Amino acid sequence: MRSSSVQPIAVLRENDLRRSSPPADENEGFTKVGEWMHDFIRTLYPLCRSITGDGVRRTLELIDERIALDVHEVPSGTRVFDWTVPKEWNIKDAYIKDSSGKRVVDFKRNNLHVVSYSVPVRRWISFAELKEHLFTLPEHPDWIPYRTSYYRESWGFCLSHRQFMALRDDEEYEVCIDSSLEDGHLTYGEHRLAGESDDEVLVSCHICHPSLCNDNLSGIAVAVALAERLRLLKRRYSYRFIFIPGTIGAIAWLAQNVERVHRIKHGLVLTCVGDGGPITYKRSRRGNAEIDRAFAHVLAHAQASSNIVDFTPYGYDERQYCSPGFNLPVGCLMRTPHGRFAEYHTSADDLDFVLPEALADTLTTCLFAFDVIENNRVYVNLNPKCEPQLGRRGLYRAVGGQSERAMEELAILWVLNLADGTHTLLDMAERSGLPFAVLKRAAKLLTEHELLGPLY
Amino acid sequence: MRSSSVQPIAVLRENDLRRSSPPADENEGFTKVGEWMHDFIRTLYPLCRSITGDGVRRTLELIDERIALDVHEVPSGTRVFDWTVPKEWNIKDAYIKDSSGKRVVDFKRNNLHVVSYSVPVRRWISFAELKEHLFTLPEHPDWIPYRTSYYRESWGFCLSHRQFMALRDDEEYEVCIDSSLEDGHLTYGEHRLAGESDDEVLVSCHICHPSLCNDNLSGIAVAVALAERLRLLKRRYSYRFIFIPGTIGAIAWLAQNVERVHRIKHGLVLTCVGDGGPITYKRSRRGNAEIDRAFAHVLAHAQASSNIVDFTPYGYDERQYCSPGFNLPVGCLMRTPHGRFAEYHTSADDLDFVLPEALADTLTTCLFAFDVIENNRVYVNLNPKCEPQLGRRGLYRAVGGQSERAMEELAILWVLNLADGTHTLLDMAERSGLPFAVLKRAAKLLTEHELLGPLY
Amino acid sequence: MRSSSVQPIAVLRENDLRRSSPPADENEGFTKVGEWMHDFIRTLYPLCRSITGDGVRRTLELIDERIALDVHEVPSGTRVFDWTVPKEWNIKDAYIKDSSGKRVVDFKRNNLHVVSYSVPVRRWISFAELKEHLFTLPEHPDWIPYRTSYYRESWGFCLSHRQFMALRDDEEYEVCIDSSLEDGHLTYGEHRLAGESDDEVLVSCHICHPSLCNDNLSGIAVAVALAERLRLLKRRYSYRFIFIPGTIGAIAWLAQNVERVHRIKHGLVLTCVGDGGPITYKRSRRGNAEIDRAFAHVLAHAQASSNIVDFTPYGYDERQYCSPGFNLPVGCLMRTPHGRFAEYHTSADDLDFVLPEALADTLTTCLFAFDVIENNRVYVNLNPKCEPQLGRRGLYRAVGGQSERAMEELAILWVLNLADGTHTLLDMAERSGLPFAVLKRAAKLLTEHELLGPLY
């Protein structure tokens, strides 16, 4: 069992933000959706994914069984901005056999054993030569590292340091990588939920890692669950979920959608969202985009601890979305950032490393933040001179002189005071310190009493 | 005797801000004016005020004996924005008598005993029914709470918890409230001091509370003393003092002056300004209005401790002045804010709770802040290229090489350096860290030497 | 020996900023240039300088032997803005003799003994009268103070308190000041290094103090060494070094160059730059000029401790450059600011008080800051949509999956991301937290690979 610092659902229940939350956040629903996501990760775990190939296709098929996907195939050799779509890589088997014919390293036991994009090889080889093709983690002797060589043709094996130490330096070994690297396609999938407007929210996750759970599968699982939840809700925005190989996939997608990206008003990269650490939100390059402020608000109000970090031009596909020629308002949601947990890019990033409650907490956080974005309107006070008489409308305590005042009443006063056509509800939340959901309810109530109207 | 954290006048004397202060701030004057204000509070204390009625009229008469008032009467039923001026409430007597005919609760002993705006009642009643109309403070068994019911017709008594515990639950009581609630008027008063300009400074205080000293009488006393002092001074601005019932009075006043409020360049609500706590200034909705900056400067330089708090849309009549349809630059000056002292809205907010030296300190602080506003001009250095030769004008130490430099010399250099037509004296005070009064003197000196001129 | 907190050169060596540093910063060069500057100070030390006179002329001759100077003579009586160039002061000898004919105070032993600009005097005088003309430092009984009386005709002697205590109050003394105060000239020198552009960097130091090392000679020595180094480098800007009497010299120079000062894009006053304290940089009046940001960056990255202080209108000649009619972007570089060290304006500001390594460290800091200014261009990413493929250009690790990433790679990514035509390299350094020199190298590399171009 791994320990977790995910906050108990009980805490969330008491938090006012919950009141605006969709069905997923009922206590039972929270547990169920967490387990559902973890089960989906378990289903995807054995597949050998890379940036191209049948592992990606099979992953997209399994997603498509849950949410309908448009699958796109981009031919090898296609120019995408400064890059070229590489050859397609597939692999059937790979091993290192000792002189007795025993597989001492076996791809079929763990697909991390082969360096991704290894070219085919099959021959007998001395230990001295073999050693040049082996990668281990001496500081974690039981873990297998994860290595790739997409853009330089080579081959290699990753193995635990314990396996490596058991090899004999006076022995010859048979190495076999039964792979193919040929013209083919890069494959990605899209799922779109139409909303009232053509303005879009982009949710992007990478699908190019083999048996790694936090780094790629957790993002896929949360994205699929998000799509399922959002489908049930009234949507102002349209939502586009893209499941793409990292870097080259994002670049290919942007190259094919360059005329359409102006529709993206908010965006989010999901990665490493299943471990037990607190949530980390990385701001977009703009630094103060609405999505940045929405997550900052939600994390401050709904999480006991969380981190907000500034944009940096390294990390995941926010690098591409936030390149200066696009500069899209796309942030990145993580729990523990890549490289900050020892299990990163090793076989220890496995099914035990991702937790159902962490996945559910990430999902809930996204839903809260999207709820902010969906409802972040500008309002106008229809009775802007002095306060309206709330008492006769039942919106205010009847007996004066009491010192205690409920948050609901404060929210009504704040909304009336700031509804001058220049403040969004999120502006009001930031200035008042009240949760967005409480202000949203106050705005709804005031609108029903014809004291408030949305400007846009 | 209550303890006080008001700073001794000795501290003020040493502070440079004093040098610009009007006569009130002489040590003897300080003590006298504090006692004068406390005496005035003592005079006003017994009256039973509410948002309408003869208690308000008598209060205005007593103010008018000190500073000439224009008294306005607004008829019941008058529409003022979203509100309607209520019926006028008056009361002659009220009591609860036990079966022996003894007054166990008696309005004549303390006017807090009756819930304000109680409708007339006179009958015998069981304890069980009576209990529904009684309010006490169990945690302060000797204090009488203060309650109102302006907009819902009802009646009730407030009494000490000790009185309540002495009632017998098997007894019948005679309740009598000899009040009237009839069409009449809402009454308020205005005092205007003309200045060089029609631009106005608004000083507003509420006059709607019965025998409560810090909450309403302290504001009235300081406002009257302020008017008396300002009358003696040269004024750039005109000053308008308004003495109004809280909320409905401010709304009625704004409704009747909607075409004139654009003249208000600075404003201040005075409330709870007599207790022994440090001064609290609440910023206007604008947050950085000149009045906000003036009080921030004065409090930082002249007070050992004080608090500046951001605007919130609850509190006193700044709620109305700062509603989005007006958004006037009106702050609120308090010592301990309402609800932060246990005595608030109880009989313990009495003559002992307000201190002459606290009243005088509040008055002095207002005079300092108004001195800033009056003198906060933009200047132009008439010799802007390099420093002028101050030495030959006697404005600078004659013998060089000394390391010590007086604050006066620094002020001269700062004023010359920043007098580029874009900085006010208050800008200079904020940037230099020097007291406004010292910069004011430097500007005067430089103007006399024809090195400086006011831009506006 | 005096102790020093100047950081050892070893620290500087490890710092990445060094990599962009000119030859002076090699360890051997650092020591040599420090000793060279100290030697130059030793040469200048005995001269009796004031704001006019032959001491200034001889000082300029000695500078001219190192860097070619244009020497200007401004006649006494010339009007310069609000000031008038004073008479020229020269002095041959001065002393106080006791009745036995012994020189108890002798100008030839230390030129601080005479108050600068003392009028001629020669007569016998009682101790009582003499006392009115004597200045001592009782708290430092062995030190001689430094005093001036430029604009009020008088005479006086400065002496150690120990010398003073040895005088007898029943004795007559012969005082002699063999000075002249006559129409003549104010003298200053300029050295200009042409660059690609006529836009100028101004370096200003005062040359008006007699035997004081930190206060005036350290600035002269660093300025001369700076000019020598900069002559060897490619320069975008032209550099103008001015060696002027304090205040009146700066005012005269500005009066004579009023039509040309718009060319000054950056400027620096050098003063008190040789003592063992940490560096202090005083911002220009603008507060966020490029020179201010360049020094803030360099000090944060290259110094273990340093101070940045806001502009104030007192100090050295930045007072004139930053007067509102000019408002030039001129900062002031010091180590311990004047008045913050006990030796200031006393005979203890001597050859031991300034340290070769401190002088060299100041010089290096200036060169780093000027390197920032010289290279602070705005770049445009020529492949702005998504990242370019750095790997095939050898600009990126070939094998993926490694968690460590070199600062060079980060710099490349930051430059590409922020090169949108709105960010300077210094903007990028501030946002990324990386040293300017590393970003400069990255920009050079990317330009060589045709991925980046300078906008201006």
Q: What is the pLDDT of residues A269-314, one digit of tens each?
A: 999 999 999 999 999 999 999 999 999 999 999 999 999 999 999 9
Predicted complex ipTM exceeds 0.85: yes
Q: What is the mean pLDDT of residues C342-356?
A: 98
A76-89 pLDDT tens trace = 999 999 999 999 99
Which one of A384, A391, A413 has the shortest CB-CB distance to B151?
A391
Report pLDDT for B22. 40
Which one of A385, A398, A414 has the shortest CB-CB distance to B254?
A385
Q: Is there a contact between A313 and C416 if contact means CB atoms under 8 Å apart?
A: yes
CA dihedral for B360, B366, B369, B374, sign (positive or negative): negative
Which one of B80, B146, B319 has the shortest CB-CB distance to A401?
B146
Q: Report the CATH architecture of C9-84+189-375.
A: 3-Layer(aba) Sandwich (3.40)
With beta carbons less than 8 A apart as the criterion, state whether B41 and B215 touch.
no
Does the beta carbon of A439 lie under 8 angstroms from any beta carbon of chain B? no
Looking at this protein, which amino acid is placed at residue B22?
Answer: P
Q: How far is CA C404 from CA A338, C23, C397, C408, C409, in A?
A: 11, 32, 10, 12, 10
With beta carbons less than 8 A apart as the criterion, state whether C203 and C273 touch.
no
Report pLDDT for A286. 98
Q: Is C215 labelled a binding residue?
A: yes
With beta carbons less than 8 A apart as the criterion, state whether B353 and B2 touch.
yes
Residue C172, pLDDT > 50, answer yes
Which one of C82, C146, C319 has the shortest CB-CB distance to B389?
C82
Q: Is there a contact between B385 and C323 if contact means CB atoms under 8 Å apart?
A: yes
Structure tokens at B19: 């040098």
Superfamily holding A88-182: Domain of unknown function DUF2172 (3.50.30.90)
Q: Is there a contact between A326 and C385 if contact means CB atoms under 8 Å apart?
A: yes
What are phi and psi for residue A147, nearest 5 degrees? -135, 150
Outline where B237-392 has alpha helix (H). 248-256, 290-302, 318-321, 356-375
CATH of domain B9-84+185-374: 3.40.630.10
Superfamily holding A9-84+185-375: Zn peptidases (3.40.630.10)
Q: Is there a contact between C400 and A147 if contact means CB atoms under 8 Å apart?
A: yes
With beta carbons less than 8 A apart as the criterion, state whether A96 and A173 touch.
yes
Query: Which chains neighbour C (Cβ–Cβ under 8 Å, 3 or more pairs)?
Result: A, B
Residue B40, pLDDT > 70, answer yes
- Closest chain A residue to C433, measured at CA: A312
Q: Which of A312, A318, A338, A341 to mutate to test the interface with C (most CBs of C within 10 A)?
A: A312
b/e code B313-337 from CB counts within 10 Å (16+ = b): bebbbbbbbbbbebbbbbbbbbbbb
B116-150 pLDDT tens trace = 999 999 999 999 999 999 999 999 999 999 999 99
Contacts of B153 (CB under 8 A, 6+ apart): B119, B181
DSSP string, C325-344: TT---EEEEESSPTTSSTTT
List the domain boundaries for chain B.
9-84+185-374, 91-182, 378-454
Percentage of residues in chain C having pLDDT higher than 90: 88
Which portions of chain A are predicted below pLDDT 50? 1-25, 398-404
C323-332 pLDDT tens trace = 999 999 999 9
Does the beta carbon of B78 lie under 8 angstroms from any beta carbon of chain A? no
Looking at this protein, which amino acid is placed at residue B45?
Answer: Y
Touching A: C residues 372-411, CB under 8 Å: 381, 383-389, 391-392, 398-401, 403, 405, 410
Which one of B285, B324, B327 has the shortest CB-CB distance to A419?
B324
Half-sphere exposure of A334 (CA within 13 A, CB side): 24
Comparing CA positions, the residue from A249, A258, A250 lying closest to residue A86 is A249
With beta carbons less than 8 A apart as the criterion, state whether B255 and B247 touch.
no
What is the overall mean pLDDT for chain C? Answer: 92
d(CA A61, CA A412): 49
Q: Is there a contact between C385 and A147 if contact means CB atoms under 8 Å apart?
A: no
Outline where C45-175 has alpha helix (H). 54-64, 127-131, 161-166
Helix (H) or strand (E) holding C193, with range, is strand C185-193
Q: Is there a contact between B82 and A384 if contact means CB atoms under 8 Å apart?
A: no
d(CA C279, CA C365): 9
Report pLDDT for C28. 78
Q: Is B345 labelled a binding residue?
A: yes
CATH of domain B91-182: 3.50.30.90
Contacts of C403 in chain A (CB under 8 A): 338-339, 344-345
Q: Is there a contact between A319 and C387 if contact means CB atoms under 8 Å apart?
A: yes
Paired with B74 in beta bridges are B186
Q: What is the mean pLDDT of residues B71-96?
A: 98
d(CA A221, CA A60): 12
Angle between helices A356-375 and A27-44 (to 10 degrees): 110
- Closest chain B residue to C343, measured at CA: B403
Q: How far away is chain A from the Cα of C456, in angstroms, using its nearest Cα?
A: 18
Contacts of A384 in chain B (CB under 8 A): 323-325
Q: What is the mean pLDDT of residues B263-285?
A: 98
Q: How confident is the model at residue C397 (pLDDT cuts 50, 70, 90)?
A: low
Contacts of A413 in chain B (CB under 8 A): 313-314, 319
Give me the residue label for tokens 């050992």.
Answer: B304
d(CA A205, CA A216): 7
Does the beta carbon of B43 lie under 8 angstroms from any beta carbon of chain A? no
Q: How confident is the model at residue C407 (pLDDT cuts 50, 70, 90)?
A: confident
B417: burial class by Cβ within 10 Å (0-12, 13-18, 19+)?
buried
Q: Is there a contact between B254 and A416 if contact means CB atoms under 8 Å apart?
A: no
- Closest chain A residue to C396, measured at CA: A151
Contacts of B414 in chain C (CB under 8 A): 312-313
Touching B: A residues 301-330, CB under 8 Å: none
Comparing CA positions, the residue from C281, C351, C403, C338 lying closest to residue C2 is C351
Q: Which of A386, A395, A407 to mutate to test the interface with B (most CBs of B within 10 A)?
A: A386
Report pLDDT for B407. 86
Q: Is there a contact between A386 and B322 if contact means CB atoms under 8 Å apart?
A: no
Answer whether CATH 1.20.120.80 is correct for domain B378-454.
no
Which one of C152, C313, C338 has the shortest CB-CB distance to B416?
C313
Q: Which of C378, C382, C385 to mutate to test the interface with A (most CBs of A within 10 A)?
A: C385
Q: How many CB pairs under 8 A join B and C?
A: 84
Q: How far away is chain A from the Cα of B148, in angstroms, using its nearest Cα?
A: 5
Structure tokens at A11: 């805490």
Q: Is there a contact between A414 and B313 if contact means CB atoms under 8 Å apart?
A: yes
